[in-house]
């Protein structure tokens, strides 16, 4: 069960070029995580400590996981992902145990990047209720902070956490020595969306030139993940129509479909 709670990727293969519309965030993550992993001596010479932990926050599906994976790819680090919700356990001590296992695994596989998704599950502001479940979650969080404090050569292991609920976080985890580098990952703007459409269409067999500019204009408020669904849905339209080439009309139809239904049905309306 313990191994199932973590997802380990020995050789992740996400490149920075696969990420669209958040160039500033890519640069910040590279500075905060890639550089300390790649050139720890630089930080030593200058006499500064690299950030202890990086927190990526912003709406769902904007590329937070991709960012963490891309740094792991670039630095040849093992990517170890754990969902915060997995750390919330029924039995006393089980969550803390998972945290210890997580860091032990990272030490065995270093260089490694520990990615904790939905950190809010274990680091939300405490409610007043002193229920035992709450206290247990608190203990799990303390264990995580202890492990972070205990790093001697943290250059070889980096910790990145992500959340969609920055407002809910217990500010205690943001203190120096903890998650002390905050990077906001926003929804893409119109240029970002255009770039993300281009990225996700790279592998598509296209019939004619696609007007990415128009697609970007039509998808205000879409996340990167939603744009990816548009391209997949466009491909589905081509298949339903017995074509192997995707057209601009397929993209338009895909957006119409996602706008008009909840996106859960993949059945043609014919
Ligand atoms: P969550 O908060 O829901 O975990 P996330 O921010 O971690 O979401 P990712 O898992 O990185 O989002 O993105 C999901 C998928 O959406 C990616 O695999 C990718 O295909 C697409 N995607 C999201 N953001 C981008 C982006 N900026 N550029 C290109 N593709 C993107």
Read off the pLDDT of residues 167-213 as tens digits, 9 standing for 90 and up: 999 998 999 889 999 999 999 999 999 999 999 999 999 988 899 99
- Whether 66 has a binding-site annotation, put simply, is yes
Residue 118 pLDDT: 95
Residue 268 pLDDT: 45
pLDDT at residue 267 is higher than 70: no
Collapsing DSSP to helix, strand or coil, 129 comes out as coil
Span 84-142, pLDDT tens digits:
999 887 778 888 999 999 999 999 998 999 999 999 999 888 665 555 567 888 889 99
Spell out a b/e string for 98-109, using b for 16 or more CB atoms within 10 Å of the CB, else e: bbeebbebbeeb
Residue 196 pLDDT: 98
How confident is the model over 221-236, as a mean pLDDT? 96
Q: Output the CA–CA distances (angstroms, integers) from residue 203 to 1, 173, 222, 232, in the order listed.
A: 36, 41, 21, 11
* Residue with the larger pLDDT of the pair 48 and 238: 238
Q: What percent of the chain has pLDDT over 70?
A: 90
User: How far is it, in rounded angstroms, from Cα 53 to Cα 68?
Assistant: 12
Packed helices 224-240 and 190-201: angle between N→C axes, nearest 10 degrees: 40
How confident is the model over 213-223, as a mean pLDDT? 96
CB-count exposure of residue 264 (10 Å: 0-12, 13-18, 19+): exposed
108 CA distance to ligand 1 middle (Å) = 28
How confident is residue 5, by pLDDT bands cut at 50, 70 and 90? confident
Q: Which ranges of 57-153 would DSSP assign to H, the alpha helix?
A: 64-74, 94-108, 120-123, 132-149
pLDDT at residue 3 is higher than 60: no
Determine if ligand 1 sits within 6 Å of the CB of residue 248: no
Residue 60 pLDDT: 97
Its pTM stands at: 0.91
128 CA distance to ligand 1 middle (Å) = 35
Please list, in sequence order, all residues whose beta carbon lies within 8 angstroms of the beta carbon of residue 263, skipping any fewer than 6 positions away: 229, 257
Determine if ligand 1 sits within 6 Å of the CB of residue 14: no
User: How far is it, in rounded angstroms, from Cα 32 to Cα 35?
Assistant: 7
Count of beta carbons in the 10 Å neighbourhood of residue 120: 22
How confident is residue 269, by pLDDT bands cut at 50, 70 and 90? very low
Structure tokens at 111: 């260089």
User: How far is it, in rounded angstroms, from Cα 58 to Cα 25?
Assistant: 12
Q: Reading across the β-sheet that carries 78-83, which strands appear in turn?
A: 6-9, 78-83, 112-117, 157-163, 53-57, 179-184
Structure tokens at 254: 């895909």
Residue 270 pLDDT: 39
Determine if ligand 1 sits within 6 Å of the CB of residue 198: no
Ligand 1 binding pocket mutation candidate from 198, 202, 225, 227 (most atoms within 8 A of CB): 225
Q: Are strands 112-117 and 157-163 parallel, antiparallel or unpaired?
A: parallel
Ligand 1 atom nearest to CA at 21: 27
- Whether 155 has a binding-site annotation, put simply, is no
Structure tokens at 81: 């992902």
59 CA distance to ligand 1 middle (Å) = 10
Determine if ligand 1 sits within 6 Å of the CB of residue 12: no
Which residue's alpha carbon is at the smallest distance from atom 10 of ligand 1?
65
Residue 188 pLDDT: 97
How confident is the model over 152-161, as a mean pLDDT? 79
What rounded mean pLDDT belongs to the chain?
Answer: 89
Only one residue has tokens 């020995």, namely 10
Residue 149 pLDDT: 80
């Amino acid at each position: 069960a313990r191994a199932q709670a973590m997802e380990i990727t020995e050789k992740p293969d996400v490149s920075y070029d696969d990420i669209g519309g958040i160039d500033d965030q890519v640069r910040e993550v590279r500075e905060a995580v890639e550089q300390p992993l790649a050139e720890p001596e630089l930080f030593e010479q200058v006499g500064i400590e690299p950030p202890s932990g990086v927190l990526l926050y912003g709406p769902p599906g904007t590329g937070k996981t991709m960012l963490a994976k891309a740094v792991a790819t670039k630095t040849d680090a093992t990517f170890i992902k754990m969902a915060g919700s997995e750390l919330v356990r029924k039995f006393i001590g089980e969550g803390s145990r998972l945290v210890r296992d997580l860091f032990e695994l990272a030490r065995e596989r270093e260089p490694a990047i520990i990615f904790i998704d939905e950190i809010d599950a274990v680091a939300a502001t405490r409610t007043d209720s002193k229920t035992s479940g709450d206290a247990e979650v608190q203990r799990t969080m303390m264990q995580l902070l202890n492990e972070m404090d205990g790093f001697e050569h943290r250059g070889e292991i980096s910790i990145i956490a992500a959340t969609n609920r920055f407002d809910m976080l217990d500010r205690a985890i943001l203190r120096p020595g903890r998650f002390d580098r905050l990077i906001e990952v926003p929804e893409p703007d119109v240029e970002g969306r255009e770039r993300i459409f281009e990225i996700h269409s790279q592998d598509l067999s296209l019939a004619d030139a696609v007007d990415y500019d128009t697609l970007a204009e039509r998808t205000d408020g879409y996340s990167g993940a939603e744009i990816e669904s548009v391209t997949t849905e466009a491909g589905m339209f081509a298949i339903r129509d017995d074509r192997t080439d995707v057209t601009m009309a397929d993209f338009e139809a895909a957006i119409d479909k996602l706008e008009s239904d909840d996106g859960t049905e993949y059945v043609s309306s014919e």
